[in-house]
Amino acid sequence: MDSILIERKNQVFRTGTDAQTIHCNKPSVAGSVSQRACVFCGSRVVLYPIADALHIVHGPIGCAAYTWDIRGALSSGPEIHRLSFSTDLREKDVVFGGETKLYHSLIELIDQYKPKAAFVYSTCIVGVIGDDIEAVCKKANKEKGIPVIPVQAPGFNGSKKDGYKIACEALATLIGTGDLAVPEKSINILGDFNLAGELWMLLEYYKKMGIHVNATITGDGRVEAIASAHKASLNVVQCSGSMMHLAKIMKDKYNIPMMKVSYFGIEDMSDALYEVAKFFKDDEMMAKARILVREEFGRLMPVLKEYKEKLQGKKAAIYVGGSFKAISLIKALRLIGVQTVVVGSQTGTPDEYEIINQLCDEGTIVVDDSNPIELSAFVKETCADIFIGGVKERPIAYKLGLGFCDHNHERKEALAGYEGMLNFAKEIYATAMSPVWQFTRQR
Amino acid sequence: MEAVKSPKKTFVSTRNACKLCAPLGASVVFKGIKGCLPMIHGSQGCATYIRRYMISHFKEPVDIASSNFSEETTIFGGNRNFNTGIENIIQQYNPEVIGIASACLSETIGEDIPRLIREYRTVNASKALPVFVNASTPSYQGTHMDGFHEAVSSVVANLAECGETGTHINIFPGFVSPADLRHLKDILTDFGLDYVLFPDYSDSLDNPHWKEYQIIPEGGTAVSEIKRTGTAKASLEFGYILNLGGINSRITESKAAFTAAQWLEKNRSVIRCKLGMPIGINETDRFFKQLEELSGKPTPNRYERQRGRLVDAYVDGHKYVFGKRAIVYGDEDMVVGLVAFLTEIGIEPVLVASGGESGILKREIERITEGKYPQMKVVSGMDFESINEMTEELKPDIFIGNSKGYYISRRLGIPLVRVGFPVHDRFGAQRLQHLGYEGTQQLFDRITNALIEYKQEHSPVGYKYI
Ligand code: SF4
Ligand code: SF4
C-alpha cells in the first residue's frame, strides 16, 4: 500500500531537495478521497455572501441542502442569502425537463422574498437533461425587472477554481449596470467574504485612512453596490484564487487597476494599507496608515511575543483552499514561533508554490490537492504538532493527536486583520498547549 | 433572521430542505460494513459534500472516494473512471469491501453499476479482489433515508447466503446513533441471543482515540456476518415506513423498493418481525416482548429496572410536560417513534413534518395517536421555510428534531431538543440516545429539562429549585 498514488507523484515535493516544479491545477484522480469540492461549490461560495440576492440551485436537492448556510459570511442587513432554495428535481423532471419548475420557482421566490437580483446555479445533471437555463432567466428577468443571472456550474466541468471563474463572470454581467454615486478616491474590496465579520474590521481600517470603500465583493455584498463597482478607482484583491479573474475583467473593461493583498498576518495586513495609500499618492493617507499600523503593532507585539515564547519549537502543517492564503499563514506562524513543515492547498498556482518553496525551510513538504492518507503520512513524517485546515481535516488531525485551527469558510472566529492575528495566535496557543494531548501522546 | 410574512400559498421550490440526498444514506450504511470504503460513482462535489456533512455530525474522519466524473465521462460514460477509481482505492486503502453508491449524474446518463462491477471482476479475475456491494441512489428518486434503506436491502440481497436455518437473528435498526447501536448490542447480548446487526457503525463512526492512524476505521458488520443474515431464524426491522412507500415521483416501476427483512422473508424464508423504532415505553415493550419470544428468556432484570425507573421519571416529570405543544420533524420513522413517545407523556404534537415523501407518514401517525389529536398536522415533503410560516398559527412550546430547525426555534425563543441527524451545532451527537428504555429516559430528561429551563429563564423570580 502506498500513501501517494502514482498519478499524483508530481503533485508533491520537498523544498530544497526536489528539483522539479509542482504539477497543479489538475483534475483529481478517480478513486481518490479528494478534499476538493466541485465547480458548483466554487461559484456558490464566491457569490453566497451577496445578501440581498436570491440564490437558487437548479438540480436535485443535495447540492442545495449541503450548501445551506454553511459559511460564516455575515450581513449587516438583509439575509436572503442564508436561505437555501432549490428546484429539488425529481425523476419526472429529469425525464421531461425542469425548465417549467425553475421558471415557477423563480417567480414565486422573487415575489415572496423581493431580492435585488437572482443567481441561478445549474448543477451536474441539468446540463445533461438539456434545460435552457439562460432562456428561463431571461424570461424571469423580463417579467420581474431584476437581474436574473445564470451561473452554469455543473460540478464535473473542472475544479472548484473553475467555479470561481464562473462566479466572476456572473458578477461581471452585473457590474456596470448600477449608478450609485461614488466619491473620487474609492476602492472595491474583492475577495473578502466577511467571515466572522472580518470585512467590517477592514472597513474600519480604510475608514481611518480616509478611504471610501465602494463595493465589497462579495462579503456583506449588495447588488446595487456591486452593479456600481465599475466606478471605483482601484480594486484591492485578496485571495487570488477566487477573485483575480474578476479584477482582470474589470481592468480590461473599465480600466480599473488592481492590487493583490492579503489580510492574514500583521505584515501582510500592514502592506495592504500602505500599498493603497501609495496608490493614491496621498501623504495624509499614508500618515494615517502609519499611525494606525503603529498603534496596532504597539498593542499586538507584546502579546504576540508572549505567545512566541511559549510556542517556540512547535511545528505546523497547513492545508487550505488556495496557496496564496498558505503563504500568509506561513509568515503569521513564523511570527509566533511556529515552523511550517507541511504546506498544501486544494487549488494552488505554480507561482505561489514557488514562493512557498522560497519561503519555507528545507525539507518542507509541499503538496497540491491532497487526501487524508497522504496528509496523515506527511504529518507523521514531519512530527507536526498543529494542523491548519478546513472542517474536513479536523477529525483527521484530532485522531492523529494534533492540535487544529479552522481556517476555512466555516470559521466562526475572525482571523483577518490585526484583531484576527491575535485571535489566530490565541487559537494556535489554545490548541497546541491544551493538556489533553498528554493522554494521546503516551506512545 | 427577520420575522416571517404570512405564506401566500404552497411553493413549487424547496426552501431550506428538511432532507438530504440519497448517496449520503448509502454512505452511512457502507461505513457500517467492516473494512469498507465507500465510493460515490459521480462527480467529485457530491462525495465531498457528503463527507463534510457526516464529519460535522460524527466528528470522525469519513473517507468517501469519488470516481470524479469529468466532462468526457459525462459524454462517453463512466467506465474508465470506475475502473481507475477502484484500482486507486485498492492501491491506497486495500479495503476488504468497496461500497459503491450511484449519484444523480451517473444514474441520469444510465450507468449500470452492477455491470461495471461484473466487468471489472472478469478482467481482474486472476487477482484477489475486495468484495463489491452497491446501491442505486439517484436523489431525484428519494431522500437520504431511501438511500439508506436501499443500501441495506441491496447489500443483504447481494450477500445473504442460502442454507439451513440457524438460531441467530437479524436486526436492522435503521438510521440511529452509534450510542443507540451500542445499546442494542448490549440488550441482545444480555438476552443471550446470537445476532447479526446491520449496519453497525457504532465504532467506525464513533471511534476511540487511535494510537496509529487507521486508514479504514475499525468496526462494522463483517461480510461473513452479513452472509449469515440469509440463514437467520428471524429478522427484526425497526420502522413502519422504511422505503416501503410509493417513492415520490418515481416513474420507473421496475425499481419497486423492498426492505432487507422483506427480501429475506421472500427469498430466504427468514421470518420478518415488524417493529416501530423502540422509542417510548409502548414501542420498547413490544421490542422486548419480541426478544423474549425469540430468546425464550425473560427480560433481564437490568432492563426491567430501566423500565421501572423510566415510569418513575414519567410520574415525577409529568406536570412539566403535559399539554405542551411540540413541532416534531425529521426522518419519517424517527418522527413516528417520537410521536409514539410524546403521546405517552401528554405532549401534543401540533405539527409532524418530514422531508420524506413515502406517502404513508400520515397513516402511520394517525394509527399511533389513535385520533387523540384532531388538530395535529402531518405533512410529508416538508421544508423548513414552510414550517417557519406555520408557527404563528401553531403556537408551539418546543421543537424536537435535528439542528436545521434551530433558526426557527431561535426566532420564536423556544427550546429545540436535538435528535436524529444532523446534529452539528452541538457536541456529542454520536452519543445521543433515542432507543430503548435507556434512550427514552435520555429523551425524557432532555425534553423535560428544556421546558423547565425555558420556564426558569422566563421567570421573574429566578428560583433555584423545582
Ligand atoms: S447531484 Fe444528487 S447525489 Fe450529488 S449532491 Fe446533488 S442530490 Fe446529492
Ligand atoms: S451534483 Fe455536481 S454540482 Fe452538485 S454537488 Fe455533485 S458535483 Fe457538485
| Strands B169-172 and A386-389, bridge-based pairing | unpaired
Can you tell me which residue has the cell 498556482? A349
Grid cell in block for residue B14: 424547496
Q: Is the CB of A123 under 6 A from ligand 2?
A: yes
Cα(A27)–Cα(B45) distance, integer angstroms:
12
- DSSP 3-state assignment of B37? strand
Query: Per the CB < 8 Å rule, is A60 touching B84?
Result: no
Listed residue (B109, B96, B105) closest to B139, CA to CA: B105
Q: Would you say A60 and A88 are in contact if contact means Cβ atoms under 8 Å apart? A: yes
Q: What is the DSSP string of B139-151?
A: GGG-BHHHHHHHH
Is residue B69 packed enough to be buried (19+ CB in 10 Å), middle (13-18) or exposed (0-12)? buried
Grid cell in block for residue A401: 493527536
Query: Per the CB < 8 Å rule, is B68 touching A34?
Result: yes
Rounded to the nearest angstrom, the minimum Cα separation between A257 and chain B is 34
Query: Per the CB < 8 Å rule, is A391 touching B211?
Result: no
Cβ atoms < 10 Å from Cβ of B252: 9
Fold entry, domain B310-457? Rossmann fold (3.40.50)
- DSSP 3-state assignment of A214? strand
> What per-residue confidence (pLDDT) applies to A34?
72
- DSSP 3-state assignment of B79? helix
DSSP E strands in A275-379: the ranges are 315-320, 339-345, 365-368
Alpha-carbon distances of B8 from A111, A112, A339, B383, B390, rounded to whole Å = 10, 8, 58, 15, 11
Listed residue (A215, A236, A223, A136) closest to A174, CA to CA: A223
Cα(B410)–Cα(A63) distance, integer angstroms:
25
Q: Across chain B, how many H-helices and E-strands are there? A: 17, 14
Task: Please tell me the pTM assigned to this model.
Answer: 0.94
> What per-residue confidence (pLDDT) applies to B1?
42
Q: Is the CB of A241 under 6 A from ligand 2?
A: no
Cα(B50)–Cα(A155) distance, integer angstroms:
14
In the predicted model, residues of chain B with pLDDT beneath 70 are: 1-9, 246-256
Rounded to the nearest angstrom, the minimum Cα separation between B155 and chain A is 21
Closest residue to B12, CB basis, from A30, A36, A101 = A101
Task: Output the CA B148–ligand 2 centroid distance in Å.
Answer: 20
Rounded to the nearest angstrom, the minimum Cα separation between B269 and chain A is 34
Closest residue to A91, CB basis, from B50, B109, B249 = B249
Query: Per the CB < 8 Å rule, is B85 touching A64?
Result: no
Task: Output the CA B273–ligand 1 centroid distance in Å.
Answer: 33
Cβ contacts of B207 on chain A, cutoff 8 Å: 399
Is residue B125 packed enough to be buried (19+ CB in 10 Å), middle (13-18) or exposed (0-12)? exposed
Can you tell me which residue has the cell 494542523? A387
Task: Output the CA B113–ligand 2 centroid distance in Å.
Answer: 19
Amino acid A32 reads S
Task: Output the CA A60–ligand 1 centroid distance in Å.
Answer: 6
Q: Is the CB of B406 under 6 A from ligand 2?
A: no
Task: Give the contacts of B152 (CB within 8 A, at least 6 positions apart).
Answer: B29, B172, B198, B199, B259, B260
Q: Which residue of chain A has the CA closest to B39? A: A31
pLDDT per residue as tens, chain A (443 positions): 456 666 666 677 777 665 455 666 666 777 777 767 789 999 999 999 999 999 999 999 999 999 998 777 899 999 999 999 999 999 999 999 999 999 999 999 999 999 999 999 999 999 889 899 999 999 999 999 999 999 998 888 888 889 999 999 999 999 999 999 888 889 999 999 999 999 999 999 999 999 999 999 999 999 999 999 999 999 999 866 689 999 999 999 999 999 999 998 898 999 999 999 999 999 999 999 999 999 999 999 999 999 999 999 999 999 987 788 888 899 999 999 999 999 988 877 888 888 888 888 888 898 888 787 888 889 888 989 999 988 778 888 898 889 999 887 667 788 899 999 999 999 999 999 999 998 886 54
Listed residue (A345, A274, A74) closest to A193, CA to CA: A74
Atom of ligand 1 nearest to the CA of A62: 7
Cα(B325)–Cα(B310) distance, integer angstroms:
22
Q: Which residue of chain B has the CA closest to A125? A: B105
Atom of ligand 1 nearest to the CA of B137: 3
From B43, B74, B104, B108, the mutation candidate for ligand 2 (largest count of ligand atoms within 8 A of CB) is B43
Give the phi and the psi of residue A404 in degrees, each rounded to 5. Answer: -145, 140
User: Which residue in B4, B5, B13 has the most chain A C-beta atoms within 10 A of its own C-beta, making it the best mutation to test that interface?
Assistant: B13
Give the phi and the psi of residue B443 in degrees, each rounded to 5. Answer: -60, -45
Can you tell me which residue has the cell 414501542? B283
Q: Would you say B222 and B159 are in contact if contact means Cβ atoms under 8 Å apart? A: no
Listed residue (A380, A343, A369) closest to A358, CA to CA: A343
Cα(A183)–Cα(B162) distance, integer angstroms:
81
- DSSP 3-state assignment of A323? helix
Going by CA atoms, what residue is nearest to atom 6 of ligand 2? B46
Task: Output the CA A262–ligand 1 centroid distance in Å.
Answer: 34
Atom of ligand 2 nearest to the CA of A38: 8
> What per-residue confidence (pLDDT) applies to B6?
46
Q: What is the DSSP string of B370-419?
A: TTS-TT-EEESS-BHHHHHHHHHHH--SEEEE-GGGHHHHHHHT--EEE-
H or E element, residue B36? strand B36-41
> What per-residue confidence (pLDDT) applies to A443?
43
Cα(B408)–Cα(A390) distance, integer angstroms:
27
Amino acid A184 reads E
Region(s) of chain B under CATH 3.40.50.1980:
22-275, 310-457
Task: Give the contacts of A334 (CB within 8 A, at least 6 positions apart).
Answer: A340
Question: CB under 6 Å to ligand 1: residues?
Answer: A 59-63, 123-124; B 21, 23, 46, 49, 103-104, 139
Closest residue to B63, CB basis, from A33, A60, A101 = A33
Amino acid A270 reads S
Point out the ligand nearest to the CA of residue B19. Answer: 1
Q: Would you say B417 and B450 are in contact if contact means Cβ atoms under 8 Å apart? A: yes
Cβ contacts of A94 on chain B, cutoff 8 Å: 104, 108, 140
Cβ contacts of B19 on chain A, cutoff 8 Å: 61, 65
Compute the half-sphere exposure of residue A235: CA atoms within 13 Å on the CB side of its CA.
30
* Domains of chain A, each with CATH number or no CATH: 2-24+305-439 (3.40.50.1980), 39-174 (3.40.50.1980), 186-290 (3.40.50.1980)
Query: Per the CB < 8 Å rule, is B84 touching A157?
Result: no
B254 DSSP 8-state letter: G
From A58, A63, A88, A122, the mutation candidate for ligand 1 (largest count of ligand atoms within 8 A of CB) is A63
Going by CA atoms, what residue is nearest to atom 2 of ligand 2? A155
Listed residue (A20, A15, A16, A92) closest to A60, CA to CA: A92
Closest residue to A36, CB basis, from B44, B53, B60 = B44
Rounded to the nearest angstrom, the minimum Cα separation between B319 and chain A is 38
Query: Per the CB < 8 Å rule, is A124 touching B19?
Result: no
| Strands B36-41 and B14-15, bridge-based pairing | unpaired
Q: Which residue of chain A has the CA closest to B42? A: A156
User: Which residue in B1, B11, B14, B31 has the most chain A C-beta atoms within 10 A of its own C-beta, making it the best mutation to test that interface?
Assistant: B14
Query: Per the CB < 8 Å rule, is B104 touching A37?
Result: no
How distant is the alpha carbon of residue B200 from its chain centre? 12
Amino acid A159 reads S
What is the predicted ipTM? 0.93
Amino acid A197 reads G
CATH no. of B22-275: 3.40.50.1980
Rounded to the nearest angstrom, the minimum Cα separation between B109 and chain A is 8
Q: Would you say A299 and A417 are in contact if contact means Cβ atoms under 8 Å apart? A: no
Atom of ligand 2 nearest to the CA of B47: 6
Is residue A232 packed enough to be buried (19+ CB in 10 Å), middle (13-18) or exposed (0-12)? buried
Cα(A291)–Cα(B332) distance, integer angstroms:
61
Contacts across the A-B interface (CB distance below 8 Å):
251
Closest residue to A91, CB basis, from B39, B82, B141 = B141
Q: Would you say B409 and B433 are in contact if contact means Cβ atoms under 8 Å apart? A: no
Q: Which residue of chain B has the CA closest to A398? A: B209
DSSP E strands in A331-402: the ranges are 339-345, 365-368, 386-389
Q: What is the 3-state secondary structure (H, E, C) of B269-320?
A: CCEEEEECCCCCHHHHHHHHHHHHHHHCCCCCHHHHHHHHHHHHHHHHHHHH
